[in-house]
Chains A and B, each alone.
Chain A
Amino acid sequence: MGEDDPRSSFKDMDARLKAARKRRISHPRQRMETRPLGIAMRLSVELAAGLVVGGVMGYFLDRWLHTRPWLMIVFFFLGAAAGIRNVLRAAEEINRAAEEGTEDESSTEE
Chain B
Amino acid sequence: MAAEGMSPLEQFEIHRWVPMNIGGVDASFTNSSFFMVLVVLLSTAFLLGGMRRGTLVPGRWQSMVEVTYEFVASMLSENAGHGSRKFFPFVFSLFVFIIIANLLGMIPFAFTVTSHIIVTFTLALIVILLVTILGFIRNGVGFLRLFVPKDVPFYIVPLLIVIEILSYLTRPISLSVRLFANMMAGHTMLKLFGGFVVSLGLLGIAPWLFIVALSTLEVGIAMLQAYVFTILTCIYLNDAFHPGH
Contacts and interface: CB of A to CB of B under 8 A. Distances in A.
Contacts of B231: 30, 32
B79 A53 contact: no
A61 B177 CA distance: 24
A42 B228 CA distance: 11
A62 interface: no
A33 interface: yes
Interface string A14-31: 000000000011001110
B95 to A, nearest CB: 14
Given A82-B163, A85-B163, A49 B170 contact: yes
A100 to B, nearest CB: 13
Interface in A28-53: 28-30, 32-33, 38, 41-42, 45-46, 48-50, 52-53
Contacts of A78: 162-163, 166
Mostly helix, strand, loop or mixed at chain B's interface? helix
A22 to B, nearest CB: 13
Contact of A53 (B169, B178, B224): B169
Given A28-B78, A48-B177, A78-B166, 16 more contacts: A28-B79, A41-B181, A42-B174, A45-B177, A49-B173, A52-B170, A53-B166, A53-B170, A75-B166, A78-B162, A78-B163, A79-B166, A82-B167, A83-B170, A85-B167, A86-B170
B55 to A, nearest CB: 19
Nearest to A51: B170
Contacts of B164: 82, 85
A73 interface: no
B181 A49 contact: no
Interface residues of A, number: 27
Mostly helix, strand, loop or mixed at chain A's interface? helix
A57 B166 contact: yes
Contact of A86 (B78, B162, B174): B174
A81 interface: yes
A53 B166 CA distance: 7
Interface string B142-168: 000000000000000000001110110
A84 B27 CA distance: 39
10 contacts: A41-B181, A41-B182, A48-B177, A50-B166, A50-B167, A79-B166, A81-B163, A82-B163, A85-B167, A86-B174
A32 B228 contact: yes
B74 interface: yes
B226 to A, nearest CB: 13
B228 A33 contact: yes
